[in-house]
A and B are shown apart, each in its own frame.
Chain A
Amino acid sequence: MGIERLKSVSYRKPAYLLILLDALGFLLLFMNKDYNLNVLYTGAAVLALFLTMYTVLVLGRMGDKFIMLMVFMLISIGVLLLCRIDLSYGFRQIVWILVGGAVFFIAYFVYYKVKVWNKLWYLYFIGGTLLFLITLVLGDTVNGSRNWISIGSVISFQPSEITKILFIMCLACYASGSWSKPVFGKVAPKWAALIITYIFVGFLVLQRDWGTILVMFSIYLFMIYVYEPDRKLLVLNIIALVVIGLLGWKFLYHIQVRIANWLDPWSDISNRGYQISQSLFAIASGGYFGSGLGNGSPYYIPLVHSDFIFAAICEEMGVFGGVAVILLFFLIAYRCFKISIMAEDPFDKAVSFGVTVMFALQTFIIIGGVTKMIPLTGITLPFISYGGTSIVISFASLGIIQAISAKTESAESGAAAKERKEERDER
């Protein structure tokens, strides 16, 4: 009994472990990359960023303290793997994480301070639609999906990532009940939300971005499951999903190919089954503990730095490493759900719920896809995959979640202050 035992409950211990992992990992890669100092700079940048953000978060009382810890564990694993695959990816990723960190704080403060988010559903809808239209006109096709926009030759981004957030905010307006007036005096919000969902899904079909369709539509379904008292709507939407899915399977070549590859990638292994079979080879070669960083051959996996990075994690860090990543994502989802449950403002509750479902589903869909548990749909793994849009949007969403968490916490102590004031006045 005494202070020693208390130390083990400290918040610092996991942080030390994270630092240890990064230190060992980047030193190892330093060896692997012929003592290229850039590796060490990258590692130092990850650590500096972690310490800065975590300290600001804790001292600034910016809500939940666990999520950022786990997010940085994922980021560390991701950057280690990216550096190992190709140093230039790791280096650029760090820049994106830096931008992401800034966006995190901006999103936090903007969301925290602005109070009218729940009134702006039409802006979210218009914004999302505009992004879609821009993509359709200017978009580039990458990996079969027309969902990229390039500005000049340097910056390219996926507008659908931003649309997801706008979509969640829009749905939250309706779910929280703050959007109660019928549109054009006729269309009730629940039907308007339905129409908006189907419009967005329709745009995504044109872009052939199946993964995002799956995420968005699931968010909508979960949202109406939780909030819509009219159960018929949920049932009808599930029926619609099944019917559309079956029609897609029957008539859309892209979906047929995906299903066929999922059922049997081996029969067309050198063409359509190539991606998934290479991913499975990588996972199968890792065993429980992996080959060790730098010992495997992840470069055989196509798109290994983005969609398929989980396969590389399994190859070099083992199935246990993969399971750890799954666990971390689950714990993050758990904390976010908790924030959503604790939130008192209905709009905050709905937004945090939507963002959480988005994180969780995105993780499930891509990890399930690369392990061939479910059909593969290209989508990035939040905080781990290489990519500016993915990282920045993930951090922005996290900023919103933290803001909601902080609001709840300060509401608690705010209530306490009010009570004390009343007590004093009585006196």
Chain B
Amino acid sequence: MTVYSFISTILSYVFTVIIYVFIIFVIRLIYLDVKKMSRFEDNSIADEACASLRPTKSRTEPTHPLKRRYNIYGEAVIGRSPDCDIVINEGFVSQKHLIIWFEQGEWYLEDLGSRNGTSVNGKRILNEVILDPEDVISIGGLNFVFET
């Protein structure tokens, strides 16, 4: 067995692993994506770990149209980066602005060190806070109503 065919044999296993891990990742992403859509299309599914943000009257006019509502499943990072679960493409929103997550019956919010900060019910938050339904979350000038 030459050095080349040895390396190539080893790599044949590596390639198989890479391709399958790739497929698993994609399936997982698709799964999350489908879950997002189907959960909220079908209201009969009651799940305490589902919530949503509804844009409401704001001081600032968004330059990009906002969706009617943004759904959160278990957890969501909100920010300008396309990697975020909820993307809000505005200059005053940081790449990764804040995170909302569900843990043992409670919803939490934490600012991820954003430049312009986050307020809940008009109060600028410093540490993580517990969210209640109908709380108003302000990101820059944009207001969202938290709904469960």
Residues of A within 8 A of B (CB): 1-3, 5-6, 9-14, 17-18, 20-21, 24-25, 28, 31-32, 58-59, 66, 69-70, 73, 77, 289-295, 316-318, 320-321, 324, 327-328, 331, 334-335, 338, 412-417, 419-420, 423, 427
A327 touches B96 (CB 8 A): no
Q: A20 and B5 in contact (CB under 8 A), knowing A59-B82, A416-B66? A: no
Residues A14 and B29 in contact in the complex (CB < 8 Å), given A318-B16, A420-B55, A420-B66: yes
Smallest CB separation, A412 vs chain B (Å): 7
Q: Is B83 an interface residue (CB 8 A)?
A: yes
18 new A-B contacts, CB < 8 A, other than A21-B22, A291-B8, A419-B68, are A2-B99, A3-B99, A6-B99, A11-B83, A13-B25, A31-B4, A66-B30, A77-B19, A289-B16, A292-B12, A293-B8, A294-B8, A295-B12, A412-B68, A413-B65, A414-B65, A416-B68, A423-B57
Q: Does B53 count as interface, using CB distance less than 8 angstroms?
A: no
Please state if B8 and A14 are interface contacts (CB–CB under 8 Å).
Answer: no
Residue pair B29, A28 in contact (C-beta under 8 Å): no
* Given A413-B66, A417-B65, residue A10 in contact with residue B15 (CB < 8 A): no
Say how far B94's CB is from chain A's closest CB, in angstroms: 13
Chain B contact-residue range equals 35 or more
A31 to B13 alpha-carbon distance, docked (Å): 18
Residues of B within 8 A of A (CB): 4-5, 7-16, 18-23, 25-30, 32-34, 55, 57, 65-69, 75, 77, 82-83, 85, 96, 99, 101, 103, 112
Given known contacts A28-B8, A66-B30, A321 and B22 CB-to-CB distance under 8 angstroms: no
- The reply to whether B65 and A6 form a contact with Cβ atoms under 8 Å apart is no
A-B pair count, CB < 8 Å, reads 131
B29 pairs with A6, CB closer than 8 A: no
Asked if A11 contacts B30 (CB within 8 A), the reply is no
Interface pair B23/A331, CB less than 8 Å apart: yes
Rounded to whole Å, the gap between the CB of B33 and the closest CB of chain A is 8
B82:A58 contact, CB within 8 angstroms:
yes
Do A293 and B67 touch across chains, with their CB atoms under 8 A apart?
no
Please, could you name 13 A-B residue pairs with CB atoms under 8 Å apart, sorted by A? A6-B77, A6-B99, A12-B83, A14-B25, A17-B18, A25-B11, A28-B11, A291-B8, A292-B5, A293-B15, A415-B68, A416-B66, A423-B57
> Which A residues are in CB contact (< 8 Å) with B65?
413-414, 416-417, 420
A419 to B55, CA, bound (A): 11
Q: Given the complex, which residues of B lie within 8 Å of A24, measured CB to CB?
A: 11, 14-15, 18
In the complex, the answer to whether A316 meets B12 with C-beta atoms within 8 Å is yes
The complex places the Cα of A2 from the Cα of B75 at a distance, in Å, of 9
Which residues of B lie under 8 Å from residue A18 when comparing CB positions?
22
Q: When the two chains form their complex, are residues B11 and A3 in contact, meaning their CB atoms are under 8 A apart?
A: no
- Nearest chain B CB to A200 CB, angstrom units: 35
Closest to A423 in B: B57
- Name the A residues within 8 Å of B10 (CB-CB): 292
Q: How far is the CA of A327 from the CA of B16 in the complex (A)?
A: 13
> Once the chains bind, are B55 and A295 in contact (CB under 8 Å)?
no
A320 to chain B: which residues have CB within 8 Å? Answer: 16, 20
A292 touches B82 (CB 8 A): no
Q: Given the known A-B contacts A32-B8, A420-B66, are A331 and B26 also in contact in the complex, defined by CB atoms under 8 Å?
A: yes
Question: Complex: how many Å from CA A317 to CA B15?
Answer: 8
Which residue of chain A has its CB nearest to the CB of B28?
A9
In the bound complex, CA of A82 to CA of B66 (Å):
46
Residues of chain A within 8 A of B15, CB atoms compared: 21, 24-25, 293, 317, 321
